[in-house]
Structure formats: structure tokens, C-alpha cells
Chains A and B, each alone.
Chain A
């Protein structure tokens, strides 16, 4: 399959996605559109964690922290100054928080950039740590971000958080960012840098012996991952229109980790499939948590059941199919073409 055909096919696929979104916008109800939006955001988050963990082998549990940073930065920028006056009721906002205002695109990029900056700053000392120590240290970072967000009411409005964030994040923005993330991740993984990422993942000592500056490359991957986690957080803030520090508990990281592991560590296709599937299932399973009425007989909802099911899924995946749905395989046009010809995919 030559390069121009691949590009053409990709454009056709993007066109189809565009048509679908255009159709969805006019024909689906708000709840279904919300699910479609969440799918895009979850795919962005899963891709960014997969870049860090699945492709570079750094076990990071700090995603909620980067998302919180992206979400707060973006929200502060897109809310109007008048809105902030009414929002900060306990303590007045600091002048720079009060006065800064930017269009949505700039705000999302700023959210990602600040998250990336934090990734760079905390990555520099932490990435020297080994796998599970890195996990626990990045988890510590995410918790510190949350505690700080709770304690600087003049910037974050403390435990009350923000309400009424402008809902700019529609299908077009979310899928636009999703495609951009996808494009970027694929490009970097197909470049030489991507090969170095995988070399470090597979054997760090060997990579070092081959003369790779392991630390610099790890930092690069971590910073990129943090950027897209920040973008995901920013989109999520505008999508949900409310944020508060409680939202960025470890559960949030857990959900992203579950998508990445179920999809397959080191598989982009896997992250997309699992991102879609798990988001739909998470919403679909809400019905077990809500009361169900059959005739005049009401079954009470069972709060917490959804996460029971999902933690079980994660345990079962890790016990019985450790490589997830896709393992490290990918579906691309080459595999599709071979499949069409009737050969082995």
C-alpha cells in the first residue's frame, strides 16, 4: 500500500467521521451527544497515558493531576470577568485570575501547555525513579495538586470549584482535538524518536548501553503525555461546565488506566476501541445505579455497582488477558487490505 493511497483513505475516513458528527449533531438527543463527546475526551486521555506508559514504559499515575491543571487553566481563561465576580463569593479572585480572558482554542492550548510545564518540572526529578516508585510518586503529585487546588481559593475558588464554565467543547472541538492527538501520537511513534521510546520500554539498560540519552527521551515523552492530559482536562471542564477539586481524585486516573490496559498497552487502535467501548459501557451501566420501576414495583438503584463491575473487568483482564484487546497490534490500512483480499489479517 503506497503512501498516497493511505493518505487518501485517511482523508475519506476523516470525511466519514465528519459526516457522522454532522448527522449526530442534528439527530441525536443531548445525552447521546454527551456520550460521543466523552468518547473523544477519553480517547485523548487514553492516548496520552498510552504514550507515557504503553510506549515509553513509565508507570505514571499522575494523570488526574495534569487533567486538573489543564481544566483549571482553561476554565479561568474562558470564563468572562463578570462571571468570575459572581463566582468567587468567598474570597475575591486574584487580579490576574480576574482579568485574564482568552478564546477557547487559546485556553485549551494554554491548559495543555501549563500541564506540560508541570510535567517537565516534576518529570525532571521523578523520572529517575524505577517503575512502581514512579507510579506512587506521580500519584503523590496528583494528590498534591488536588490539595493545593482546595487551598488557594483566590485562584481556584477552593472546595466550591467553578460552576457555569462556558460549554464551548462541542463535538467539533472534541473530535478535532482527538484527531490532532491521534495524528501527533502516530507521527511521533513512526519517527525515530518513537523507536527510541519503544527501545526504552523494552529494555532501559540496553537502550542506555546503545548510547541513548534515556533520561532526556523519557522526559520528552512524559511532557508530551502531560500536554495531552492537560488538553483532555481542559475539554472535560468545558464539556461538564463544572469542576471542583473532588473531581480529580485517583478514580479519574483509574478510569484512564483501565481504558489503556483493556485496550492493550502499546496499541493505539486498542486505546481507541477501549476508549469508545468503556465510555459507552460506563454510561450504559448507570441504569444499575438508578431506581428501576416495573409496573408498581420499584427496584432501588445500587450506588457503586458500576465501579464494582468495572474494577472486576480490570482484574479479569489483567488475570486472563494481560495484553488487553489488541496487545501491541494495530489495525491500519495494510491490515484492512490484506483482510479484504481474504488473506490473514
Chain B
């Protein structure tokens, strides 16, 4: 492998990794607050990509407008899912909410099959992302730079919200102790809704960029990236935003670099993440940056 191919693999890993990281953040934020694996998150990701597609084909919106509109709409859908399917189960055993989440995930996926049809659709890609740039031997699509940069920007915005605003303070308080937060006057349900909104918006952004990178839309397109991003969140330490970012980027590198160095393993690519998951759960169940909590009797 020469340097030029290595750089290309490196940039591809970074692109894929930042897409995983954006989805993983949504999983980790919801889990940090509600201890719920939001299975529907991968369908939120899929909806983000589809809404851009429909915005462009049906309403002839320019691409950036369609993207912003889709992110806002999807954030709303995320909040709605929480309101309808999770909020009534706040006091129920944790697994009930998880089953509800699995139900919502299947529901959204099949609604997408009914309304968008199962045939794969081609996505429009803006020309300025498509023309390759040449640096010596290295051929780079502007897209491979655009994705990590936009992701970085979104993550910085998120860090600002979580660590420098009142709502962010509320989120951090709830993730420590939901009941005490109630007593201290945090509007718990509003903050949770906001968390779902932000997580869904990031997943939508990731879905949109995913559709640019792998330009084919399918109602089930969210399932595999969603699972993998969840694994990335567990790997980084679920509940920790920094952990989700590290886990996502690490997973991107593991997938692309393993196939690059051992092409024989290409067929097993989708299994790497699950092997990684089982490995990390056995060695350090709290993930890289997670904190251990003891069962209280």
C-alpha cells in the first residue's frame, strides 16, 4: 500500500467515522438520560435522508434548504416519538420502553416501505461535492472533506449547548439523577424532549450525508448503520458524548482499515462491529470513557 492509497483510506475512514459518531451521539444522549436504547434512532436517520430526497424531487427545493428543512422536521418526529411511545412508559420497567422502541423502529421502517416503496432511489448530489480534487497522487472528493468538517461543526455546537446553556445543564443534571432534578425545578419532560430533538437532528444530518456518500436510499438503510453507531456508543462508553465521538471514529477506522489491509475479510465487514461489541462488553462493559455504577439493593 503506497502513501496515496493510505491517505485515501484514511480520509474515507474519517468520513465514515464521523457519520457513525453523529448517530452515536443521539444514542448516547438518550441512554445517558433515560437508560433507554432508542431503537427507533436508525429509522430517524433513514427519514432524514428520505425527506431531503422528497424535498428536492417533489418540492424542487435547493439542496441546502431541503437539508435544513429535513433536519428540523426529523427533530420534530424524534420529539413526537418520545412523547407518544416513551413518555407514558417512564415509570414502567426499563425493558418495556425498550420493546416499545423496537416496535416504533419496525413501525417507521414499514411506514417508509408503504409510503416511499422498497425500491432503492438515487440521490441527487450537488456538483460542487462531486468534482474530485487532485493533490499529487491523492484523489479526493470534496465530499470526503465536507462530511468530517460539517460533523465537527455540529459536534462543537452540541458541546456548546450541553456545557454552556441552561438546557444543557438540565440534561447533565437529569443524567445524574432524574428524581432530584425534578425536585430542583428542572422541567424534566421539556429537557428530555429537547434531547430527543437534538439527537434526532444529528441523526438526520448523518443520514443526509450518508446518502451523499453512498447515494442510494432504501427504507431499511438505517438498520445496519444504526446498530453500528449504537455499538460505537457502547464502545466509547455509553452516556458520554466524547465517548460516542471517539467510538464512532474508531469504528470507521476499524471497518475501512481492516478491509484495506486484509481484503479477504471484506465479506465479514458487517460483523466487525458486533465482534467489537461483544469484545468490549466482556472486557470493559462500561466502555472506554464510561463510569461504573453499582446496583443498589
A interface residues, Cβ below 8 angstroms from B = 59, 125-126, 128-129, 131-133, 135-137, 139-141, 143-144, 147-148, 150-151, 205, 250-251, 254, 257, 261, 302-305, 307-308, 310-312, 314-315, 318-319, 322
Contact = CB atoms under 8 A, between A and B. Distances in A.
Contact of A311 (B89, B106, B118, B273): B106
A307 B113 CA distance: 10
Contacts, number: 117
B100 to A, nearest CB: 5
Contact of A126 (B95, B98, B281): B281
19 contacts: A59-B95, A126-B278, A126-B281, A132-B98, A133-B281, A135-B37, A140-B278, A143-B227, A257-B102, A261-B99, A303-B117, A304-B112, A311-B103, A311-B107, A318-B99, A319-B85, A319-B89, A322-B92, A322-B96
Nearest to A122: B278
Contact of B271 (A139, A144, A305): A144
Contacts of A322: 92, 96
Contacts of B103: 311-312, 314-315, 318
3 nearest A-B residue pairs (beta carbon): A304-B113, A140-B274, A311-B107
Contact of A250 (B94, B219, B223): B223
B88 interface: yes
Given A250-B223, A311-B106, A318-B89, 11 more contacts: A59-B98, A125-B278, A129-B281, A137-B281, A139-B227, A144-B274, A304-B114, A304-B118, A314-B103, A315-B103, A315-B104
A293 to B, nearest CB: 20
A280 to B, nearest CB: 20
Interface in B108-156: 109-114, 117-118
Nearest to B273: A140
Given A126-B278, A131-B95, A140 B102 contact: no
Interface string B222-250: 01000100110010000000000000000
A132 B271 CA distance: 20
Given A132-B94, A307-B106, A140 B285 contact: no
A139 B271 CA distance: 12
A244 to B, nearest CB: 15
B278 to A, nearest CB: 6
B270 interface: yes
A59 B261 CA distance: 37
B274 A129 contact: no
Which residue, B99, B111, B275, B278, has most C-beta atoms of chain A within 10 A? Answer: B99
Contacts of B273: 140
Contacts of A261: 99
Interface SS of A by simple majority: helix
B271 A205 contact: no
Nearest to A265: B95
Nearest to A140: B274
Contacts of B267: 147, 150-151
B270 A147 contact: yes
Contact of A314 (B99, B109, B227, B231): B99
A254 B268 contact: no
A318 B99 CA distance: 7
A144 B234 contact: no
A131 B94 contact: yes
Interface SS of B by simple majority: helix
Contact of A254 (B92, B100, B102, B111): B102
A318 B102 CA distance: 11
B104 A311 contact: yes
B223 A144 contact: no
Interface in B67-110: 85, 88-89, 92, 94-96, 98-100, 102-107, 109-110
A118 B136 CA distance: 52
A307 B110 contact: yes
A105 B270 CA distance: 35
B282 interface: yes
B278 A147 contact: no
A137 B110 contact: no
B96 to A, nearest CB: 6
A315 B107 contact: yes
Contacts of A151: 267-268
B277 interface: yes
B187 to A, nearest CB: 23
B297 interface: yes
Contact of B95 (A132, A304, A307, A308): A132
Contacts of A310: 106
B177 interface: no
Contact of A308 (B114, B275, B297): B114
A267 B74 CA distance: 39
Contacts of B274: 140-141, 143-144, 147
Contact of A132 (B37, B89, B113): B37
Nearest to B271: A147
A248 B246 CA distance: 32
A308 B147 CA distance: 34
B69 to A, nearest CB: 25
A250 B89 CA distance: 24
Contacts of A140: 231, 273-275, 277-278
Contact of B106 (A131, A254, A319): A254
A147 B271 CA distance: 6
A220 B105 CA distance: 32
